[in-house]
Amino acid sequence: RRPVRAEPDDLVPRFEAGAEQLIDVLRAADQNAPVWTWFPGRQDIGFITRHQVQEAAVHHFDAANAAGKPWSIDPAVAADCLEEFLTCSLGDADDVLRLGRSMSSPIVLTATDIGSSWTVFQADPSAPLLWTPNADGPATVPGTVPDLLLWIYGRVQLPTDEPERVAEFRRLSSTN
């Protein structure tokens, strides 16, 4: 059975209805209920709920940007999205081995609007990428936390004096 193709005027209402349905389902679900997810470190509904916030935020930016419209996100939500990315999308030991890549030194993402920072590092060249809150050195990439979220997904450019270290980070993280 083929899906019914929506008329152009129905696309936005259908999308909104689907989004509302997803919100209702996730809100009513037991967040601790076990389910398969793509991230081995977290196999529960709570992971899906948290990740959907990040997905919605970044793709909302994509749509707003394409339409020439403003976009904003609460800084606390953006910070949680950034931490969810750092927890789930940095290269693990298998990635480091398979790709034959490592980081020469840590990078520090610094949120200029909320006074927070995150340091991404490797314990040694064959270790997975890890992160810790708080700066371990000067900012490698400074920006507001919403801009850092968009930067980590390659949606915006932010200034850096360390383009090679940023490139090392990008080669070992899922930033698309």
Alpha helices in 89-137 (DSSP H): 93-99
The pLDDT assigned to 15 comes to: 86
In the predicted model, is pLDDT for residue 21 greater than 80? Answer: yes
Instruction: Compare 176 and 39 and report the one with higher pLDDT.
Output: 39
The pLDDT assigned to 59 comes to: 93
The pLDDT assigned to 11 comes to: 85
The pLDDT assigned to 175 comes to: 63
Residue-wise pLDDT for 128-167, tens only, equals 999 999 887 888 999 999 999 999 999 999 999 999 999 9
| Burial annotation 133-169 (CB, 10 A radius, 16+ → b, else e) | eebeeebbbbbbbbbbbbbbbeeeebebebeebbebb
pTM of the model: 0.87
In the predicted model, is pLDDT for residue 78 greater than 90? Answer: yes
Q: How far apart are the C-alpha atoms of 19 and 56, rounded to whole Å?
A: 10
- Whether 153 contacts 58, CB under 8 Å: yes
The pLDDT assigned to 147 comes to: 97
